[in-house]
A and B are shown apart, each in its own frame.
Chain A
Amino acid sequence: MEDGKVISIEGLKKHFPMGSGRFTALNGIDLAFGEGEFTGIIGPSGSGKTTLLNIIGTLDNPSEGRAVILGHSVSELTPAESASLRKTQLGFIFQTYNLFQVHTVYENVEFPLLLQGIANNRRRQMVLDALEWVGLTDKINSRPAQLSGGESQRVAIARAMVKRPAVVLADEPTANLDAANSHNILQTMEKLNRELKTTFLFATHDEKVIGYVRRKIWLADGMVARDELIEKN
């Protein structure tokens, strides 16, 4: 890792073809994130925050510049290497939860560990630990359709956290939740961030999320407009 940074981004640009020309989603981003950060990437729709999260999550490649995630340059990773990095070190949380509807809560959380080939006993313990973190041990046999929005998002958090990733990327995680559930979810993630030293990056424009993060990075037109560190007790 470069200078102890978990994520290091230099001169990052991302263009998308649009008609005969191209659309620039990111236009020269320089950022670095350390271990255990709880950071919000804030901006309106089209500001480039999801694109930035996709590149950090090795789901997309930079057009120009460099993004180094946990010591790996994203543009130099093969598809298999980026899949491997996501499998072990990166967790994702989505606005729409994206749980596997036909599987139980337990099976949803278990899935990342199955990909890693972790042995049955250890896997079971890790799943139960993750469900305990989010307070859902009583719902292990429920299906997503039987859960509330808040509960579904907590399952998604457990699924992202069960493999103890170094970085969790959360794209608008509270957008579909009411205020009470949003606070509950954010408190859960904040607790995990403190206890496990996991780096959390949020793409958001939700004031509730902004109120929790300890670093706020405002994006506008694909560029960093402001990078603000908040001191919290």
Chain B
Amino acid sequence: MIKFLLRGLLRDRHRSLLPFLVTLIGVMLTVVFHAWMTGVIGNSIEFSARFASGHVKVMTRAYSENAAQAPNDLALIGTDTLTAGLSERWPEMEFAGRIHFAGIIDAPDSLGETREQGPAMGFGIDLLSGNMAEAERMNIPSSLRSGRLPERKNEVLISRLFADKLGVVPGDVITLVGSSMYGELAMHNFTVSGTVDFGTTALDRGTVIADIGDVRDALNMEDAAGEILGFFRTGVYDAERASAICEEFNRAYNTPDDEFSPLMTSLSQDKTMGFLVEYSGKLQAILVALFIMAMSLILWNAGLLGGLRRYSEFGMRLAIGESKGHVYRTMMMESLLIGFFGSAAGVAFGMIISLFLQNHGIDLGVMMKNASVMMPSVFRAHITPATWYVGFIPGLISSQIGSMLSGIGIYKRQTAQLFKELEQ
């Protein structure tokens, strides 16, 4: 009997190939969609964490309230001691001070007169201590387009687009015109050591990166930093642990009455990223659920059409003496086989596409030319263990549900009615 059914299944393309293809395409799209959503949201969160928010961040309470303006006059002081204390207390995290600053970059001509000027945002990070963690975290070595990383004091990296705009190349001297920690005019000369492409328009438009020590000198921020970022050494953000660390830190260090006392916040508490972190999982689940529901409807419809097309066959089988239950069970078995192989093929094809998108990504930089949000311009899919089953299980279940629903017709119809339909 099984051979008979398998032969029918293989020979009748409407019974096998069509639902197989529908299942394959539906599952493949679900797999790619899931990997893509996971990648895009994960990329955005991780990108933001690396460049802006860290997994946890320590600032003064006053700085945190105006963090978007990078108010260095409200920066933390005594950061070397504080950073060392943090690293000792929470060894699972790596802490590093950073200074965000803004100013005008002046590119002089050979006579020292202004040739080009442009507004810039800057990062002061650890580049000269010999520890490359911060540079690698911001993906600087692989973003280097010309020149080299800073090796000496007062060397600076500049984003390539900005360098082109200013007409500077590695070796040229530029001047930062900004405001010191105490509100005075600050001017400091840097030598461009290299140019970088971050792949995000917001950064590429006008960024300079210098060693935090040089920035301290430039902005008169001795032993100070706008913020101390902490990153889990695993590289993976753990919301629960981050929250516990913040709570413990704030209990020990934060004084509500002192606006300059240090305050630790987690990525989940970040004003812009918090929403994404908190709701990304739910949003992703909702989107995937909607997608699966739509796919189930399509597979149900395919099962229904297939079932209706076979009513005369079912009528004949009932007339010959097959029970309704047996007809129904064989339908389910057929759909299980098609669902299994269709879903497996869908996962395989979906994985191939997802792997390609994970390795190569899609450059949406053109669409984000004027974006001010700090997001990567190259989005990549991300394959997780869930990607393997998020399409497979619904593919299997929805093709079964489709057959179950269409098969109900067999039970609801009187045998004589099915028999009559034979003559139509």
The chain A residues found within 8 Å of chain B, CB to CB, are 50, 54, 57, 59-60, 79-80, 83-88, 90, 92, 94-96, 98, 100-103, 107, 110-112, 114-115, 159, 171
Contacts and interface: CB of A to CB of B under 8 A. Distances in A.
A102 B423 contact: no
Closest CB pairs A-B (n = 8): A87-B321, A60-B416, A86-B321, A102-B11, A83-B323, A102-B12, A98-B316, A59-B416
| Interface of chain A, main secondary structure | helix
B8 A87 contact: no
B384 interface: no
B7 A115 contact: no
Contacts of B284: none
Contacts of A87: 320-322
B415 A60 contact: yes
A90 B322 CA distance: 12
Nearest to A85: B321
B319 interface: yes
Nearest to A171: B423
A127 B316 CA distance: 18
Given A102-B12, A107-B4, A107-B7, A92 B423 contact: no
Contacts of A103: 4, 7-8, 11
A39 B4 CA distance: 34
A90 B321 contact: yes
Nearest to B313: A100
Interface string B309-325: 00011011111111111
B324 to A, nearest CB: 6
A103 B316 CA distance: 14
Contacts of A90: 321
Given A86-B319, A111-B320, A60 B414 contact: yes
B252 interface: no
Contacts of B340: none
17 contacts: A57-B419, A79-B324, A86-B318, A86-B319, A86-B321, A94-B316, A94-B422, A95-B423, A100-B8, A102-B7, A102-B8, A107-B7, A111-B317, A111-B320, A112-B320, A115-B322, A171-B423
Contacts of A50: 420
A111 B4 contact: yes
A54 B416 contact: yes
Nearest to B419: A59
Nearest to B8: A102
B5 to A, nearest CB: 10
Given A54-B416, A107-B7, A114-B4, A86 B422 contact: no
B1 interface: yes
- By size class, the interface of chain B is 20 to 34
Interface string B284-321: 00000000000000000000000000001101111111
A90 B319 CA distance: 9
Interface in B321-358: 321-325
Nearest to B14: A102
Given A60-B415, A107-B4, A114-B4, A96 B322 contact: no
B20 to A, nearest CB: 16
Given A79-B324, A94-B422, A103-B7, 15 more contacts: A50-B420, A54-B419, A59-B419, A60-B414, A80-B323, A83-B324, A87-B320, A96-B423, A98-B312, A100-B316, A101-B12, A102-B15, A107-B7, A114-B4, A115-B322
Contacts of B7: 102-103, 107
Nearest to B5: A114
Given A102-B7, A107-B7, A111-B4, A79 B323 contact: yes
A101 to B, nearest CB: 8
Contacts of B419: 54, 57, 59-60
B349 to A, nearest CB: 27
Nearest to A14: B416
A166 B420 CA distance: 23
Contacts of B8: 100, 102-103
A84 B322 CA distance: 8
Contact of B318 (A83, A85, A94, A114): A83
Contacts of A112: 320-321
A204 to B, nearest CB: 14
Contacts of B318: 59, 83, 86
Contact of A115 (B12, B321, B422): B321
A84 B4 contact: no
Contacts of A110: 4
A83 B319 CA distance: 8
Interface in B381-416: 414-416
Interface in B1-24: 1, 4, 7-8, 11-12, 15
Nearest to A104: B7
A92 B1 contact: no
